[in-house]
Amino acid sequence: MDRYQAMATFVRVVEAGSFSGAARLLNVGQPAVSKTIAQLENRLQVSLLLRSTHGLSPTEAGLRFYERARAAIAEADEAELAARGAGAGLAGRLRVSAATTFARLHVVPMLPRFLGQHPDLDIEVILDDRVIDLVSEGVDLSLRMGALPDSAAVARRLATGARSVLATPGYLARAGEPHAPADLAEHEAVIYSQQPEIWAFTREGTEVSVAVRGRVRVSAAEGLRAAVLTDIGLTIASDWMFAPEIASGAVRQLLLPWSLPAIDLWAVFPTGRMASTKARLFAGFVEAVMAETEAHSAAA
């Protein structure tokens, strides 16, 4: 049995959650995948997978083996890349997690450019607004916004973006436009549950704190966008979240003389192992994309 191929097959099974899913990813028959896993468990003398009507999941031993096997495969890929030389394209698979709205607006549309530079690379984008465990989920790189909950995380700041008070012309035509932070108390806000409800505005050294209120509260950025775009109310959010609508005029930035706390975009790498070349280069690519976006917005 080829040990490397067996490890690669097992990693695919865990990530696909089934033999059939792994078979499709590996472009082989399902019996071949089942046989490889059976041989692997026989050689190791331990059960690696729990089989149920809901699919497959790793045992405790299987999870430990998965983490080590995945790291070994990544190191092998790094060795091949180093042997081919720095000018060679990336190969293999890269798993990236990112918040759904941010990825949809700013990452996924730019993937053709990165994939065009690396024709032997596959990218899996995991869209999830939660902060997930990168090691257990097998993620190479996570794009996160805001404060990092884990101060020990291996992270690199990629960009810093502005936050604004945002509303549609339709809402403003009905409710009027706020001219000072205190005016927000008289407005209907769409509340994003992942952000504070008391905001500190600053202007020329003066700070004013305002509590926003509203009848609609959402737990995901996609819901916030949908609510605001139906003229329900104004909101406080990152300009990244409404970048297309700000550019087109479908959403307006309000109280521009006042500033709100900025938001950082981070590349977060799994702790306990060196970031792969694929993850580092993709992080650099996203950093360049966001710099282009900022320059375009400033010029508009």
How much is the pTM? 0.71
Q: What does the domain layout of the chain look like in residue ranges?
A: 1-88, 163-261
Question: At 285, phi and psi to the nearest 5?
Answer: -65, -45
List the CATH code of the domain at 1-88.
1.10.10.10
Q: Which CATH number fits domain 163-261: 1.10.486.10, 3.60.70.12, 3.10.110.10, 3.40.190.290?
A: 3.40.190.290
pLDDT tens for 166-177 read: 999 999 999 999
What is each CA distance from 203 to 23, 142, 162, 209, 217, in whole angstroms?
Answer: 59, 34, 14, 12, 28
How would DSSP label each residue in 160-212?
EE-EEEEE-HHHHHHH----SGGGGGGS-BEEETTS-SEEEEEETTEEEEEE-
Average pLDDT over residues 142-146: 91
* DSSP state for residue 42 in the 8-state scheme: H
* Cα 197 to chain centroid, rounded: 24
pLDDT for 51 equals: 81
pLDDT tens for 227-236 read: 999 999 999 9
The H-assigned helical ranges of the chain are: 3-16, 19-26, 30-44, 60-84, 100-102, 111-117, 134-137, 169-175, 221-229, 243-248, 277-299
Neighbours of 240 (CB within 10 A): 24
Dist. CA 298–CA 300, nearest whole Å: 6
> Element (H or E) spanning 237, and its range?
strand 235-238
pLDDT for 141 equals: 92
- Residue 103 in tokens: 């990825």
Token pair 């305002």 in the structure block, residue: 210
pLDDT tens for 79-135 read: 766 666 554 567 888 999 999 999 999 999 999 999 999 998 999 999 988 777 777
CB-CB contact of 217 with 191 (8 Å): yes
Q: Which residues of 82-106 are buried (b: 16+ CB within 10 A; e: fewer)?
A: eeeeeeeebebbbbbbbbebbbbbb
pLDDT for 169 equals: 98
- Residue 202 in tokens: 């600053």
Q: Which amino acid is at 10?
A: F
